Structure 1
Amino acid sequence: MSGPTEALDVKPDFSTAFWGEGDRGLDVLMARMRQGKHITDQILSLFNERALIEEEYSKKLVKLAKTFTIKEEIGTLRESLEVVKNELETSAKAHGGLAVDIKTQLAAPTAEFMAQQRAIRKSHHTQVEKQMKAKHAQEVAVFKMKERSDARAADVARLQAGGMANANDKTRIKMEKAQLAARGADQEYLGGTEKLHELHQKWVEDWTAACRECQVLEEKRIDYIRSHLWTYANLFSTVCVADDEACEHIRSSLEKCDISKDLMTFLSSQMTGSQVPVPHQYANASTASAFARPSQPPNHPAISAPVSSYGAGSQDLGPDRAGAGAAASTSYHAAEMAYNAGAPPSVAPSLGPGGAAMPPYGYGGRAESLPGSNGLAPAPTAVPAGASLGGGYDAAQSSVASLSGGGGIANAGPLGGSASVGGSGGALAGPSAVVPSESSAVSGAALGGAAAAPDAGYTYDPYNVPETVDVLCTVRALYDYAAQAPEELTLVKGQSIPVIAKNADGWWEGIAVEADGRRRVGLFPSNFCDGA
């Protein structure tokens, strides 16, 4: 038994492999030729379609490179983007060249190769088919001749079996005719057989040549497909190498991309300034004092009330009061720093002369929303000069304190206005207001010795609400808010508040119904409500 190595040493030979009864070899070999033709045609379609794909891909890359604009970028990143753009163009050219190479080196030669094989295959197939038909026709004729020859021989044998000894002339004549016909049929059969052998020999020669030619065609076809697929792979490998080099160029350029350098390049050319702009400062028209109300950070929805600073007026105070003004100024700046840092507004009360705590603000800093401005209560009157503020001062009665330190109070303004302080050295100007805190009420404060009493002609009454009030709108509280001054409203989440006045500083005036059924007017922070 021969092993695999011995089997591989045997050279293939089509001329000895496609014989047998019924000429089955012809059908098998011709079927293989048709299969080879179909496979080669499929490969040609592969080359043509891939060339079209590469051509279309090249056009799309060219279009992409044209539409890829990087004019808005700067610095080292722009350099990297320029490399990307250039490599797109390079890749487009490479794939366009690949499409041309596939057409010229693969598709066109394959079509020509198929035409050559088709001509050779058709020539041999036609010749073999012709010989085969002639051979088959002769075989049929020979079989008929054999039947006639056999029939004539049988007639002769039958006459001979009847006996020729007593045969008359008629019988002898019949025998002679039978023998003559048998010899003629036999000669015809012999001639047909000889012709069949000749046709068979011719067919064998033609079929042997056709088998050998088909083997050559098959060898050439396999070799051609192998070599051109190799070329196909090499062409794509070249483009892949080019694409890989393009990617390496991009990676190299990205390694040189410097984030800090690009940011500095942008700042050096586009910087607009480092000074933070100052927002509009609130200015009370009656006191001419100004303060900034910062915008409310999202994490702390409560609105901070204005903080009065006595630091600015310390030059008008005596030596014993300058320290109090500085302390109040420090308190304001501490509150401002805490607010900017995101802390909840919680600032100590403003200090008056001598370091005494001022009473909580009434409508300080909100002169535009006084109760008298909408008909709810009469406008406050000025505190008479020389009035004293006793230890039992009620913060709900007035937002202005008249201070006496040996002299009388002169030209005291309304709520939220300015107060002149007499005493050992000058006047103190500015609103007396503090940021609402957990302990906002200060009572019994001794300011400069004997304090002046409020005007007996005015008492602030938050429950003095007329039956008919013009309501601007109604809002709903989004958060709970505890009043931190007598003129403020306490809000409960979900509560509806009719709004009767809106102020630019964010504090609105509204009406709330308390638990005992009484209506109360007061201020509330608008950003605690949904209508702000």
Structure 2
Amino acid sequence: MSYPPGTFRGSFWERDFVTQSGFETVVTHVKEGQRACKWLEDYLKLRSKAEDEFAKALLKASKLELPTMEHSGTLKSSLDTYRTEAEEEANFHSNLAQKFSEEASKLNEFHGKQKEERKKHEDIVHRTHKNKAELYRKMMQCKSSYESKCKSSEKADSDAEKLKFGNKPKEAEKAKKNAAQCRSSALKADEDYKSSIGCVESARQLWITEHSSACDVFQRMEEDRIKCMRNTVWVCCNFVSDVCCKLDKSRERIRQITENCDPATDIKEFIAQKSTCIAPLQQIEYGSAQNNGNSDPVFGGKVNGHIYESEDDYSPTSSNAGSVTSQTVCRAIYDYNPNSEDELALQKGDQISLRTSTTADDGWMNGYNHRTKCEGLFPQNYVTF
């Protein structure tokens, strides 16, 4: 079995038989990696929750009804687009929340499998290490006993040798028997010592096998964990980038619509649709009338350039107020400066020839100015017939 450097198997061996600081270093690192994996999982869950809450809040905001804006023109189109795109953005964030949740679920499953595999191999190595350490301690006790009995045997032999040639035969015989017993005990201790060494060696070989296998598994798990977390971060960043691209396109659509929002256009449209009168009230000219015994005065006057015979004939919204007579020539009674290229400049006294297609329903008329030699639109209330 090889133990190449730069690998877990070849870099985290123990310095003695009773400690396992090398293996615990590997296990601690794997646990820290799994905690990092759990952190990323929790982050994605919180991010998913935040995206979902934001999507719901944005969707609620997009449902807010616009006030009645019948004549808002380009501004209303811009606001409608802004609200529609907000609803679309809410859908983007809702989908993003779902994707984050799915990635968190994948991490949870991956983290659970790694945790089970780590505990299985960790328990196996711990059991083999515990057995190895216990046999080693017994072996050291057998060694100590063997050494002690060997010393006792040597001393007994020395004492028996001294009494062998003395004048005390009984003591010599006793010393001889004691020496024989000590040698027997020493031989027994020697056998126990050798047997304990064999047991320790078997435990050591088993521990090396399990330690190497666990280190290989932990290194593979670490490689898988780093790849999984790296790919998860990469994928989630792509999710966010995709939403950002979609949001940028959405913002561009809003900008394009908003660029067409023109105050002058909206104001002109509103005036064209809702205009009531294009000139201020003019002074009413005095006209005498005979009472003839009637207590009600006779109505007569010129209002906004038009002469009305009776009060019943006068109404600011009456169709008569905007009708055109059969005359084809009218005279300007006020100066008028045009506000656009299709309008006609007037000076008081200008003679204006009306075009046959002229109508005054909207308060404007089309005519030819004999003074300026130009044709265009002019307000009806600025001329008289």
**Class of the TM-score when normalised by the shorter of the 2 chains:** 0.5 to 0.7
Cα distance 1:269–1:194, how it changes in 2: closer, same or farther (>3 A)? same
Displacement of 1:11 in angstroms is 8.0
Q: Counterparts in 2 of 1:103-182, with a 5 A limit?
A: 103-104=101-102, 106-164=103-161, 166-167=163-164, 168-182=172-186
Per-residue CA deviation, residues 235-275 of structure 1 (Å, 9 max, x unaligned), is: 11111111111110011111122221111111123333334
Q: Aligned pair 1:43/2:73, yes or no?
A: no
CA–CA distance in structure 2, aligned partners of residues 109 and 186 of structure 1: 60
Map Cα deviations across residues 173-198 of structure 1 (whole Å, 9 max, x no partner): 11111011111111111111110111
Q: Show the counterpart of 1:96.
A: 94
Q: Which residue of 2 aligns with 1:83?
A: 81
Cα 1:240–1:11 change in 2 (3 A) is farther
Distance 1:212 1:23 in 2: 17
Separation (CA, whole Å) in 1 of partners of 2:5 and 2:92: 44
- 1:13 corresponds in structure 2 to 7
d(CA) in 1 for partners of 2:67, 2:253? 18
Deviations 1:285-332 (A, max 9, x none): xxxxxxxxxxxxxxxxxxxxxxxxxxxxxxxxxxxxxxxxxxxxxxxx
- Name whichever of 73-82 and 25-34 sits farther off: 73-82
Tell me what 1:5 maps to. Answer: none
Q: C-alpha separation between the residues in 1 aligned to 2:126 and 2:111?
A: 22
CA–CA distance in 1 between the matches of 2:6 and 2:247? 44
Q: Partners in 2 of 1:133 and 1:54 — Cα distance?
A: 50
User: What is the identity, as a one-letter code, of the residue corresponding to 1:228?
Assistant: T
Q: Distance in 1 between matches of 2:205 and 2:271?
A: 98
**SS of residue in 2 equivalent to 1:48:** helix
CA distance in 2, matches of 1:11, 1:81: 67
Count of residue pairs brought into register by the alignment: 269
2:247 corresponds to which residue? 243
The amino acid that maps onto 2:83 is: K
- Say if 1:58 and 1:92, in contact at 8 Å, map to a contact too: yes
Conservation of the 8 A alpha-carbon contact between 1:68 and 1:85: no
| Alignment correspondent of 2:199 | 195
Alignment partners' CA distance in 2, 1:230 and 1:70: 44
CA distance in structure 2 between the partners assigned to 1:250 and 1:276 by the alignment: 40
Distance in 2 between the 1:95 and 1:250 partners? 18
1:494-513 aligned at under 5 Å gives the runs none
Partner of 2:118, secondary structure, is helix
- Please tell me the residue identity of whatever aligns with 1:109: K
Larger radius of gyration: 1
Alpha-carbon displacement from aligned partner over 1:209-260 (angstroms, at most 9, x marks no partner): 0000000000000000011111100111111111111110011111122221
Distance 1:11 1:135, change over 3 A: closer
Match of residue 255 from structure 1? 259
- The answer to which structure has the higher helix fraction is 2
User: CA distance change for structure 1 residues 160 and 97 in 2, over 3 Å: closer, same or farther?
Assistant: same
CA distance in 1, matches of 2:67, 2:25: 65
Q: Quick one: structure 1 residues 169 and 274, their matched pair in 2 at CA, closer, same or farther if it must change by over 3 Å?
A: same
CA contact (8 A) 2:163 2:175 kept: no
Contact 2:132-2:203 within 8 A present in 1 as well: yes
Matched residue, 2:271? 267
**1:120-519 equivalence runs, <5 A:** 120-164=117-161, 166-167=163-164, 168-276=172-280
Tell me if structure 1 keeps the 8 A contact 2:48–2:96. yes
Distance between the aligned counterparts of 2:82 and 2:67, measured in 1? Answer: 10
TM value normalised by structure 2: 0.67
After TM superposition, the structure 1 stretch with the greater mean CA deviation from structure 2, 15-24 or 123-132, is 15-24
RMSD across aligned positions (CA):
1.8
Partner of 1:74: 72
CA-to-aligned-CA distance 1:108-143 (integer Å, 9 cap, x gap): 110000011011101000000111111111111111
- Contact 1:44–1:111 (CA<8 Å) still a contact in 2? yes
Instruction: Supply the distance in 2 between the matched residues of 1:162 and 1:244 (Cα, whole angstroms).
Output: 104
Structure 1 residue 165 displacement after superposition: 6.1
If asked which structure has higher relative contact order (CA below 8 Å, sep 6+), I would say 2
| Counterpart residue identity of residue 79, structure 1 | S
- Answer whether contact 2:5 2:11 (CA < 8 A) is retained: no
Following superposition, the deviation at residue 82 of structure 1 comes to: 1.1
Residue ranges of structure 2 left out of the alignment (5+ in a row) = 165-171, 284-385
TM norm structure 1: 0.49
Query: Structure 1 CA distance, aligned partners of 2:61 and 2:11?
Result: 59
Paired residue type of 1:119: E
Code of the residue aligned with 1:39 in structure 2: it is A
Structure 1, unpaired ranges of 5+: 1-9, 280-532
- Give, in angstroms, the shift of residue 68 of structure 1: 4.8
Give distance in 1, aligned partners of 2:67 and 2:6.
Answer: 65
The answer to whether the 8 A contact 1:70-1:82 is kept is no
